[in-house]
Amino acid sequence: MAREYDLKPAPAVGGADGTSTTATVNRRQFLRYGFNTATGVLAASLGVLGFASILLPPGGSTEGQLGVLFWAKGREDSAWYGSKHEEPMLKQDFVDEAAKSNTGTAGASGIWNGVPVIVTYVDHAKNAGTPESNGKARFQFTEGVDETGKTIGHFEDLSDVDPRLFPSENLVMIFGRCTHLCCIPGWQLVSNSFTDDTWTPGGGDDGGTKLFCICHSSRFDPTVLEMNTNRNRSNGATFNYAGIRKAGGPAPVGLPIIPIQLNGDSIEGLADYIDWYTYCD
């Protein structure tokens, strides 16, 4: 029997009086209603070219679709960005939403050049100098480990080489496919103890602001940036990358960061690290 979760928001379910309710849906329903609809986009786009190839246009030009769009298919009436489905992601959208949050964070699913992404805003500039005990989220930059627990290096070993890996304007964008079996995580989609609107330092697995993969319950902390390692699914080659910490569940390592830039207020992804996304087909 499929494991069931209490999703929030609840897709296509309302109370008898028309008010929305928290619904219990299973994974199959989630895949139908949730952002995993993008998997169809990916499957249709890939053909025999392979996943990473869709990040760049034919010929290797750098003129890909750099702009990131909100993706709220199936949750247009419930996600905070539901009315912005397929519209460009703007920094101000996140700033406004984070201002309503106890932790000063906001997150949204998106699509970038056919690739599922998650963008998180953390009011780091405001909160970094305050006591951690106040529960206000800020980015932390740490050492990371491989799937055996062996330390492999520090986030800043990578960001020293390319400072664009640091969050830009309090924003960090993450490749949206789980390092376990390549499902597409969601931002606080599940109302359980991992998604309370709280923040704990250090990427601990207790408290909210986590990305949650509904497939087998892996959790990731977008506020903890570290070095990770993974391997190319096609040829087995290993690579290190800047990522966010795996906080719990069966995923072996964290999710890759996609460096971004702002074009005016629009969020754009930079296609410089396509090796980082090859752990999925």
Q: Does 215 bind ligand FES (CB under 6 A)?
A: yes
**Least distance between ligand FES and beta carbon 248 (Å):** 10
Question: For the chain, first and last CA: distance in Å?
Answer: 28
By beta-carbon proximity to ligand FES, the closer residue of 71 and 121 is: 71
Tokens linked to 184: 């597409």
* 259: Cβ contacts below 8 Å, ≥ 6 apart: 162, 164, 165, 168, 173, 269, 270, 272, 273
Q: Does 216 bind ligand FES (CB under 6 A)?
A: yes
By beta-carbon proximity to ligand FES, the closer residue of 173 and 214 is: 214
Label the pairing between strands 140-141 and 218-231: parallel
Tokens linked to 64: 């890909």
Rounded distance, CA 220 to CA 119, Å? Answer: 13
Q: Does 213 bind ligand FES (CB under 6 A)?
A: yes
Tokens linked to 146: 């491989």
Q: Does 252 bind ligand FES (CB under 6 A)?
A: no
Query: Of 47-55, 126-134, 144-152, 243-251, which part binds ligand FES (CB under 6 A)?
Result: 243-251
**Least distance between ligand FES and beta carbon 213 (Å):** 3
Residue ranges in the chain assigned as alpha helix (H): 27-33, 37-46, 91-98, 124-127, 155-159
By beta-carbon proximity to ligand FES, the closer residue of 67 and 250 is: 250
Query: Of 24-32, 160-168, 177-185, 222-230, which part binds ligand FES (CB under 6 A)?
Result: 177-185
**Least distance between ligand FES and beta carbon 226 (Å):** 19
Rounded distance, CA 121 to CA 107, Å? Answer: 6
Among 91, 180, 210, 245, binds ligand FES (CB under 6 A): 180
Q: What number of chain residues touch ligand FES (CB under 6 A)?
A: 11
**Burial of 5 from C-beta contacts in 10 A (0-12 / 13-18 / 19+):** buried
By beta-carbon proximity to ligand FES, the closer residue of 158 and 183 is: 183
Residues in 15-34 that interact with ligand FES by CB under 6 A: none
Residues that bind ligand FES (CB under 6 A): 178, 180-181, 183, 213, 215-216, 218, 249-251
